Amino acid sequence: MYSSSSVSKRFVLVPIVVVVTTQLLLVRNVSSLNLTNSYLHHKCVVNQGKYKPGSKYEKSLDDIIQSFSNKDKDSYGFRTGYSMKAYGKEPDMVSITYQCRIDSRGPKCQSCVVTAGYELLRKRCPRYKEAIIWYDQCLVEFSSLDTSGQINYDDNFCMPSAKNLIGNSISLEERLHLLNNLTKIAVTKIDKNIEGIRKPVLYAAGEKRLGTKSLYGMVQCSADLSVQGCNECMLYYIVHFQECWENKQGVRVLSRSCNFRYELYPFINPKGPYYTKF
């Protein structure tokens, strides 16, 4: 038998447990949909050397990074999620590129670019002429060379899930099929956010129901690539890093030119742009 006091305590605890459980589920859902903007990786490139303090290169770089805080300076770039600009002349020319995830256009894009730009310039790679940094919602690269339209095969990394797939729960073929279908959508869907130009969006996200599980994926290419370049970039990195992810429940593969991700949980808002349920 329980005493009346112990019974009342049990009834009080029930709604508390329900509330706490609900809050934890909400936190998990927010986290899984990548509403945060976490730092992922960076690379300081040694090939182009370093600039001297007080040089024209440093001044140009500082001016560019500071201009990102002014939404009117590059409103078109933040609205479309991409910008590549060159400032100055060689040997002091600065080329700076940013690419935001399509579902992070606008204020989210600007916030990510400002954060990533300062982080790269001041903390991660001070005085390097070339460097690149990846966040959840964007990448920022600065360089002394103009590489627009070229596939970058050097600056990349793979972030596999810590968990292995069990048996044939989700086959390699099924994951490849999803990534292939998303790539086809990315290179054929017209970007509705760019006025007056019929240009493929080079981005797609979606999900595929496989028995009792669902597989979620996303692909994106840099906006300066052609359709052919996007296809080539995706194919290269899917094959190049296959050993990194083929036995994993999820992975992120990111490069300067294209990236892809798949998971067994939702990480992109299904109400976001260019999302498909297969």
User: pLDDT tens string for the chain (278 positions)?
Assistant: 444 444 443 334 334 333 333 344 433 444 445 457 899 999 999 999 999 999 999 988 888 888 888 766 668 899 999 999 888 877 788 999 999 999 999 999 999 999 999 999 889 999 999 999 999 999 999 999 888 899 999 999 999 999 999 877 899 999 999 999 999 999 999 998 777 678 999 999 999 999 999 999 999 999 999 999 999 999 999 999 999 999 999 999 999 999 999 999 999 999 988 999 99
| Domain range annotation of the chain | 39-148, 157-277
pLDDT the model gives residue 33: 56
**Which residue(s) pair with 141 in the sheet?**
97, 132
Helix or strand or coil: residue 83? strand
Contact assessment for residue 237 and residue 156, using Cβ atoms and an 8 Å cutoff: yes
- In 3D space, the residue among 226, 221, 229, 261 whose CA is nearest the CA of residue 99 turns out to be 221
The reply to whether 39-148 and 157-277 are identical in fold is yes
Q: Looking at domain 157-277, does it have CATH number 3.30.430.20?
A: yes
Fold of 39-148: Killer Toxin P4; Chain A (3.30.430)
| pTM for this model (two decimals) | 0.84
Contact assessment for residue 47 and residue 188, using Cβ atoms and an 8 Å cutoff: no
